[in-house]
Chains A and B, each alone.
Chain A
Amino acid sequence: MYASEFEYYAPGTVAEAVALLGKYGDDAKVVSGSQSLVPMMKLRLSSLKHLVDLRKVPGLTGITESGGFVVVGGMTTHHAVSVSELVKKKLPMMAEAAGNIGDAQVRNLGTIGGSLAHADPSADWPAVLTALDATLVIASAGGERSVKIGDFILGPLTTVLQPAEILTQVRVPLPQGRYGGAYQKLPHPASRFAVVGVAAEMFLDAGGAVQSSRIAITGLGPKVSRASSVEQALQGKKPDAAALKAAAAKAADGIEIRDDLIGSAAYKANLAAVIAERVLARAVARATNR
């Protein structure tokens, strides 16, 4: 399959890149790892006229710790996140999620920023980064702005990114106290996208009860959802097996679930509860052992 014709640019700076995007507007698109955009171009689901490749822009890759945040460059590949010692130690659920995206070849090219900007409703990063309360840094000709992950994704393949903006950084606050996080999904057998994926970050108080939690689910609805009912059910409780099971049963509450070829809404709702229970147990174990 051949994409429609386009002009290709590989600018050397963010300023040049946003200038190109500003010039060509809706006819232009940024390419990062190309694992979603190029297949869409081949299927002619996207017929952009100008492709702006960020691969030569310095400073967009890498993972550092700075001012209480783990800062991940937008062009950092899933593979790089999955093997980062810093991520494995401080934010293990990120490494876990990254190492199970697509397959080895996809992880070698696909990037965290590209995935977020693409905003597939079954992608892993939105759930994980929602549970971790990440902030995204977006660059444009006018400078930079920061957007909370919860405000970033509007719907399927739709974000707040404007045509002449580039997602340059993902900033994940380092959790404080007795915290533990986990992510798990049932991968689609062909694409490895999440049929359902649940991410949980749990905070325990000195007595071992749940102080707070952030739980996010991908794959069920048109975009990542916060499982508020689960969070409320856990609040202040001792996180024993019965409490986790009861809370996890509410995982799909309030989410408008998509029926598709993989399963009915009822099947997916059940799956969400099963996966949520396992994820909560792992997050609690990590928090307890911290």
Chain B
Amino acid sequence: MASVTITVNGTPQTREIETRVLLVHFLRDTLGLTGTHVGCDTSQCGACTVTLDGMAVKSCSLFAVQADGRSVGTIEGVAKEGKLNAMQEGFWQEHGLQCGFCTPGMIMAACALIERNPKPTDHEVRVGLEGNMCRCTGYTNIVKAVQTAAAATAAGKR
């Protein structure tokens, strides 16, 4: 067992956990934040993507103890005061999802992507989201959603 303090969506969370608990299981099972999904559980699909100190990572690919003292962002922390953020709004407007299973991971990866590259080309969006798989939409609308969000974010910052 180990004691960890991980700041999740801005709130420090201290828990006693087994060292072998993956970050994704800490989020889902220990904290009850089930917005982060487990898809493949083999670091391929990206459904479990969260941010760790602002960087997109696959939360099934590290143990929660490795995030001790660090900040994690999940899909639950994206909307502020009941208002969708630009990326969520983009996925809504452009129909960037069908079943929605990959969407939390897509949104976390896409938010990190436009943070790093505020005006990506379509190709850069596709490369940037290579680690996230969608088995429904064929990605076209996901790229549109990210571009819509990037444009809205840029307009909002002007």
> Could you tell me if B19 and A51 are in contact, using CB atoms closer than 8 angstroms?
yes
- Indicate the size class of the contact surface on chain B: 20 to 34
CB under 8 Å from chain A, chain B span 47-81: 49, 52, 55-58, 60-63, 65-66, 68
In the assembled complex, B118 has its CB within 8 A of some CB on chain A: no
Which A residues touch B55, using CB under 8 A?
79, 108-109
**Least Cβ distance of B64 to chain A in Å?**
10
Per CB-CB distance, the 5 closest pairs between chain A and chain B, nearest first, are A103-B131, A108-B55, A8-B19, A103-B130, A3-B20
CB within 8 Å for A6 and B20 given contacts A39-B43, A42-B41, A190-B44: yes
**Least Cβ distance of A193 to chain B in Å?**
12
Number of A residues near B (Cβ < 8 Å) is: 30
In the assembled complex, A161 has its CB within 8 A of some CB on chain B: no
> Could you tell me if B68 and A105 are in contact, using CB atoms closer than 8 angstroms?
no
In the assembled complex, A206 has its CB within 8 A of some CB on chain B: no
Which B residues touch A190, using CB under 8 A?
44
Task: Give the complex CA separation of A58 and B63 in angstroms.
Answer: 21
Task: Give the complex CA separation of A287 and B46 in angstroms.
Answer: 39
Cβ-defined partner of B128 (8 Å) among A35, A42, A104: A104
Which A residues touch B46, using CB under 8 A?
103, 105
In the assembled complex, B2 has its CB within 8 A of some CB on chain A: yes
> Could you tell me if B58 and A106 are in contact, using CB atoms closer than 8 angstroms?
yes
Which B residues touch A7, using CB under 8 A?
19
**Least Cβ distance of A57 to chain B in Å?**
14
**Least Cβ distance of B58 to chain A in Å?**
5
Q: A38-B61, A105-B61 are in contact. List 8 more A-B contacts (CB 8 A).
A: A5-B19, A105-B49, A105-B58, A106-B61, A106-B131, A108-B52, A108-B55, A108-B57
Task: Give the complex CA separation of A109 and B23 in angstroms.
Answer: 14
Specify the chain A residue showing the minimal Cβ separation from B55: A108
Residue ranges of A at the interface with B (Cβ–Cβ < 8 Å):
1-8, 10, 31, 34-35, 38-39, 41-42, 51, 53, 55, 79, 102-106, 108-109, 190-192
**Least Cβ distance of B75 to chain A in Å?**
15
> Could you tell me if B62 and A192 are in contact, using CB atoms closer than 8 angstroms?
no
Cβ-defined partner of B56 (8 Å) among A2, A38, A42, A104: A104
> Could you tell me if B66 and A34 are in contact, using CB atoms closer than 8 angstroms?
yes
Which B residues touch A104, using CB under 8 A?
56, 109, 112-113, 127-131
**Least Cβ distance of B23 to chain A in Å?**
10
**Least Cβ distance of B156 to chain A in Å?**
24
Task: Give the complex CA separation of A91 and B46 in angstroms.
Answer: 31
> Could you tell me if A1 and B57 are in contact, using CB atoms closer than 8 angstroms?
no
Task: Give the complex CA separation of A108 and B52 in angstroms.
Answer: 9
In the assembled complex, B122 has its CB within 8 A of some CB on chain A: no
Which B residues touch A191, using CB under 8 A?
44
In the assembled complex, B11 has its CB within 8 A of some CB on chain A: no
> Could you tell me if B42 and A53 are in contact, using CB atoms closer than 8 angstroms?
no
**Least Cβ distance of A120 to chain B in Å?**
14
Task: Give the complex CA separation of A38 and B48 in angstroms.
Answer: 15
Specify the chain A residue showing the minimal Cβ separation from B48: A105
Choose among B61, B68, B109 the residue with the greatest number of A CB atoms under 10 Å from its CB: B61
Which B residues touch A108, using CB under 8 A?
52, 55-57
> Could you tell me if A4 and B49 are in contact, using CB atoms closer than 8 angstroms?
no
Cβ-defined partner of B43 (8 Å) among A51, A53, A106: A106
Which B residues touch A5, using CB under 8 A?
18-20
Task: Give the complex CA separation of A108 and B132 in angstroms.
Answer: 14
Which A residues touch B131, using CB under 8 A?
102-106
> Could you tell me if A6 and B66 are in contact, using CB atoms closer than 8 angstroms?
no
> Could you tell me if B62 and A38 are in contact, using CB atoms closer than 8 angstroms?
yes
Specify the chain B residue showing the minimal Cβ separation from A6: B19
CB within 8 Å for A39 and B61 given contacts A104-B128, A105-B46: yes
